[in-house]
Chain A
Amino acid sequence: KQEVTQIPAALSVPEGENLVLNCSFTDSAIYNLQWFRQDPGKGLTSLLLIQSSQREQTSGRLNASLDKSSGRSTLYIAASQPGDSATYLCAGRKKTSYDKVIFGPGTSLSVIP
């Protein structure tokens, strides 16, 4: 059973569109949420981290929100560009016997010129 899910699994949009990527988590113990970008064959690049006391974070054209009560986070990308094409992963952190980060499966985004 996936603890963190991402919808949609894949998305293709024309350049210039605003878009929203969704991340849902079932575990209420998740206390912060981080969004990453991964290009093919590369490592993960951190985009935004939303701490437990925050509801959203912004960086340039990116805005991420976190609603712990509903178990949802969204990543909003404004004015999409072909260079935004990548896989986007969300990851929630929770306390277990150790500090655990749970990754979603990712959304593969293609921005068409």
Chain B
Amino acid sequence: DGGITQSPKYLFRKEGQNVTLSCEQNLNHDAMYWYRQDPGQGLRLIYYSQIVNDFQKGDIAEGYSVSREKKESFPLTVTSAQKNPTAFYLCASSIRTGAGELFFGEGSRLTVL
């Protein structure tokens, strides 16, 4: 079955540590996205990628980094520079930016201890 797989589902991090969240899709989509969801704030875009080896900052990119070395993979690193990293992180993809449905993974919940 085609879809988006995020891992890990739950992650705990000590302050000052970097962590990487995995996102893999087998939908053959060009565009991939990372969103952050906080209670009462809705979804906010962190980074997006339109094609392999290209990515752009979204609305809240500070303290995060991404890479897009393969079409199917778009990992997100939450760095120690992110001041409030505890949140629910969602990866999404669409056939290309500006078109088609947006599909989401199951999410990763990051808690900073």
Chain B 90-113: CB-based contact to A (< 8 A → 1; otherwise 0): 101000011011111111010000
- By Cβ-Cβ distance, the 7 closest A-B pairs, closest first, are A99-B97, A43-B104, A44-B104, A99-B98, A103-B43, A43-B106, A43-B107
Chain B: residues with Cβ within 8 Å of the partner, total of 25
Chain A interface residues (CB < 8 Å from chain B): 34, 36, 41-46, 49, 89, 91, 93, 95, 98-101, 103-106
Contact of A98 among B40, B43, B92, B97 (CB under 8 A): B97
Determine the main DSSP class of B at the interface with A.
Answer: strand
The secondary structure that dominates the A interface is strand
By a CB distance below 8 angstroms, the chain B residues around A43 are 4, 6, 90, 104-107
CB distance from B4 to the nearest CB of A (A): 8
Ordered by A's residue number, 29 sampled pairs between the chains whose C-beta atoms are within 8 Å are A41-B88, A41-B107, A41-B109, A42-B107, A43-B6, A43-B90, A43-B106, A44-B90, A45-B104, A46-B101, A46-B102, A49-B100, A49-B101, A89-B42, A93-B98, A95-B98, A98-B56, A98-B58, A99-B31, A99-B48, A99-B97, A99-B98, A100-B45, A101-B45, A101-B102, A103-B42, A104-B42, A105-B40, A106-B42
